[in-house]
Amino acid sequence: MKILVTGGAGFIGSNFIRHMLKSYPEYEVINLDLLTYAGNLENLSDLEDIPNYRFVKGDICDRGLLEGIGFDAIVHFAAESHVDRSILDSTPFLRTNVIGTQCLLDIARKRRCRMVHVSTDEVYGSIEKGSFHEESPLMPNSPYAASKASSDLIARSYHETHGLDVVITRCSNNYGPYQFPEKLIPLVIANAIRNKPVPVYGDGLNVRDWLFVGDHCRAVDIVLHKGRAGGVYNIGGKNEQKNIDIVRKLLMTVARKTGSSEGPFLGLITFVKDRPGHDRRYAIDPSKMEREFGWGPATGFDEGIEATVDWYLAHRAWWERIISGAYREYYQLQYGKKAD
């Protein structure tokens, strides 16, 4: 099987490619990524010499480029993924998340191949009590979530209208190695290590459901092989946490692991103006994945946080190159061309 993974130089995509090449050494994996600010080929530097892995730098909106790539299935991660950026400018979100997904759906239709569309729990919007299931209405609130809901519905329509073999996954917040340090968990760890203020939006009582990235990759692998055409699958961590509790836990973990006292670390917490339209609580019911495939999160939150803090402590050079911007030079050094 030859799999086209889009957005493979990003956080989840790079973890997924590593998972697939390890689990299926006989598969071929093509990583199509535009290398936007969020794409970092260093995430995959250990795979460069593997003969059945290939990187193609390009845009999912480039239909000519897609025509020229051979594959049997698509796993589609590429996206503009950060809510705060979508508030500042939604243009790249509509372009990549909506139009880009449409281009992939069209090529999948032409090739009659399976496509896994990686969507998000944010398409359901906020919920006060209980949790969303796969048939719940989509009520996205941020431009990011609205662009993902749009692509999610277009994917669904290609199944209903054209009989396309597309499967949709809606996952909760991921965390783990290689996450870009603009997202809550890596940002808190990197700021704590550098003794910088840790911004907490609003009252810090917003709730997210957190899933270790390795558990997500395993779920997408299962859906790729066993998901029903036209099916939607919630992939949740059964692990709801208030932001402020996560921030405190991370700061105390960094303090312990660096042999420091907790007080000065906790003193870094800085409450800042809330994000506009900030969803209060995300919660999804992941029981369909459990019922149909026996999938469930295997990494407990304490274990996942320990592993994640260890990873960021051990890979300081990786995230410092991102913060300084030096990571943009990696592609040029490896491929002799500029990333932008």
Q: Which residues bind ligand NAD (CB under 6 A)?
A: 6-7, 9-13, 32-36, 38-39, 59-61, 77-79, 81, 96, 100, 118, 120, 148, 171, 173-174, 180
319 binds, among ligand NAD, ligand TYD, none (CB under 5 to 8 A by kind): none
What residue type is 261 in one-letter code? Answer: S
DSSP symbol at 43: G
Candidates 30-38, 132-140, 194-202, 311-319: pick the segment binding ligand TYD (CB under 6 A): 194-202
CA dist 320 and 111 (Å) reads 42
28, 59, 121, 215: the catalytic one is 121
83 is an interface residue for ligand TYD by CB under 6 A: yes
122, 165, 209, 215: the catalytic one is 122
40 is an interface residue for ligand TYD by CB under 6 A: no
Nearest alpha-carbon partner for 106 in 62, 146, 57: 62
61 binds, among ligand NAD, ligand TYD, none (CB under 5 to 8 A by kind): ligand NAD
Identify whether 221 is a catalytic site residue. no
100 binds, among ligand NAD, ligand TYD, none (CB under 5 to 8 A by kind): ligand NAD
Distances (CA, A) of 47 to 21, 90, 235: 9, 33, 27
Identify whether 122 is a catalytic site residue. yes
Distances (CA, A) of 217 to 18, 154, 222: 9, 23, 9
Candidates 46-54, 90-98, 183-191, 317-325: pick the segment binding ligand TYD (CB under 6 A): 183-191
83 binds, among ligand TYD, ligand NAD, none (CB under 5 to 8 A by kind): ligand TYD
CA dist 97 and 77 (Å) reads 10
Residues 206-265 that bind ligand TYD (CB under 6 A): 206, 208, 243
CA dist 271 and 201 (Å) reads 6
Candidates 50-58, 69-77, 195-203, 312-320: pick the segment binding ligand TYD (CB under 6 A): 195-203
Cβ(90)–Cβ(147) below 8 Å = yes
Nearer to ligand TYD, 163 or 197 (CB): 197
Burial of 1 (0-12, 13-18, 19+ CB in 10 A): middle
CA dist 62 and 260 (Å) reads 50
Q: In what order do the strands lie in the sheet with 240-242?
A: 173-175, 207-212, 240-242
Q: Three-state DSSP class for 31?
A: strand
Distances (CA, A) of 231 to 60, 117, 138, 160: 23, 11, 15, 11
Least distance in angstroms from the C-beta of 253 to ligand TYD: 17
Give the contact letters, 147-176, x = binds to ligand TYD (CB under 6 A), - = no: --------------------------x---
Identify whether 182 is a catalytic site residue. no
* Structure-token pair, residue 325: 């911007």
Which positions touch ligand TYD (CB under 6 A)? 83, 173, 183-184, 187, 199-201, 206, 208, 243, 275
Which residues participate in catalysis according to the annotation?
Answer: 121-122, 144
